[in-house]
């Protein structure tokens, strides 16, 4: 079956989907994006992603190309046309097409692209059973990573450095040696006191939608949660470490910079929170 994309108001064959050479997303990274997980035909954290999208657009003064209710209809149609049961929906909105020049163009119409991608849930689940290994890298990103822009070069460099080092991913740290987040996930630990720790959602991290849901679920289940940054040393000596994101849900980190976390197997809390999160989304 052929893949279908959505580009500026039209469903098109994926192979023929394209943007203009002077799209500002392409020229300047003047664009925002969102990623939704789809499992068993369900969009995970659907509303949370719309809320963050609205915020990202507002922060960059890009007008939404359509209202969020209309967008949800288009996304459902995209899922249907791609017969997507498990996978991802990717959205990107750029400021539009205009002669290449730095100031915001006076009359550009924001462009919207959507794609859907199949993914085998069994491979993500297998990864969660095993856990992932990370290295730490300096966070070299700009000061507004809370806006979900397509400017991801430092993230890509850190991810590639991790792969070159033979591990799965990288956690980024700031000038005070505090972990900010992963290359495309929020970072968490369970500290020596058994408290769940994750950095507060300031301008230094992306306000992960999965992070928000997991935080609420963990609090609801009676776990101690502290939105407080942790150092690299605290991460290495943590009882547990894990990541949250639309693509990983909750996945344990079992090694940081070559240091094995606890017994080297995914921690109990990480596994439990993954289960609670998947259950909550499936029944939402």
Which parts of this chain interact with ligand PDD (CB under 6 A)? Answer: 35, 181, 184-186, 206, 208-211, 244-247
Q: Is residue 148 annotated as a catalytic residue, yes or no?
A: yes
Q: How many helices (H) and strands (E) does the chain have?
A: 8, 15
- Minimum gap (Å) between residue 20 Cβ and ligand PDD: 23
The nearer residue to ligand PDD, 97 or 277, going by C-beta atoms, is 277
Catalytic site residue from 80, 130, 133, 148: 148
The nearer residue to ligand PDD, 78 or 147, going by C-beta atoms, is 147
- Minimum gap (Å) between residue 35 Cβ and ligand PDD: 4
The nearer residue to ligand PDD, 123 or 193, going by C-beta atoms, is 123
Within 8 A by CB and 6+ apart from 126, the residues are none
- Here the tokens at position 147 are 């806006």
Torsion over CA of 168, 172, 177 and 178, rounded to 10 degrees? -100
Distance CA 152, CA 149 (A): 8
The nearer residue to ligand PDD, 56 or 185, going by C-beta atoms, is 185
- Minimum gap (Å) between residue 89 Cβ and ligand PDD: 11
- Minimum gap (Å) between residue 123 Cβ and ligand PDD: 16
Closest CA to 234 of 211, 215, 257, 217: 257
Instruction: List active site positions.
Output: 148
């Amino acid at each position: 079956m052929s893949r279908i994309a959505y580009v500026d108001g039209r469903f098109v064959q994926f192979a023929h989907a394209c943007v203009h050479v002077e799209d500002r997303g392409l020229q300047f990274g003047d664009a925002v994006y969102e990623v939704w997980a789809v499992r068993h035909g369900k969009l995970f954290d659907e509303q949370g992603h719309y809320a963050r999208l609205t915020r990202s657009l507002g922060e960059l003064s890009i007008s939404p190309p359509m209202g969020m209710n209309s967008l949800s209809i288009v996304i459902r149609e995209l899922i249907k046309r791609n017969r997507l049961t498990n996978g991802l929906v990717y959205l990107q909105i750029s400021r539009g097409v205009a002669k290449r020049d730095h100031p915001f163009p006076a009359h550009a119409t924001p462009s919207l692209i959507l794609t859907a991608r199949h993914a085998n849930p069994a491979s993500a689940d297998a990864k969660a059973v095993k856990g992932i290994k990370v290295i730490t890298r300096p966070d070299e990103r700009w000061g507004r990573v809370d806006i979900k822009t397509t400017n991801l070069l430092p993230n890509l460099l850190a991810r590639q450095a991790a792969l070159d080092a033979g591990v799965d991913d990288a956690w980024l740290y700031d000038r005070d040696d505090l972990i900010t987040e992963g290359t495309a996930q929020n970072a968490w630990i369970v500290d020596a006191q058994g408290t769940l720790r994750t950095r507060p959602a300031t301008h230094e991290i992306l306000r992960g939608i999965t992070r928000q849901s997991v935080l609420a679920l963990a609090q609801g289940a009676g776990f101690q949660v502290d939105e407080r940054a942790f150092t690299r040393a605290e991460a290495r000596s943590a009882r547990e470490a894990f990541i949250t994101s639309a693509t990983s849900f909750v996945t344990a980190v079992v090694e940081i910079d070559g240091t094995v976390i606890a017994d080297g197997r995914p921690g109990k809390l990480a596994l439990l929170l993954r289960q609670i999160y998947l259950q909550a989304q499936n029944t939402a």
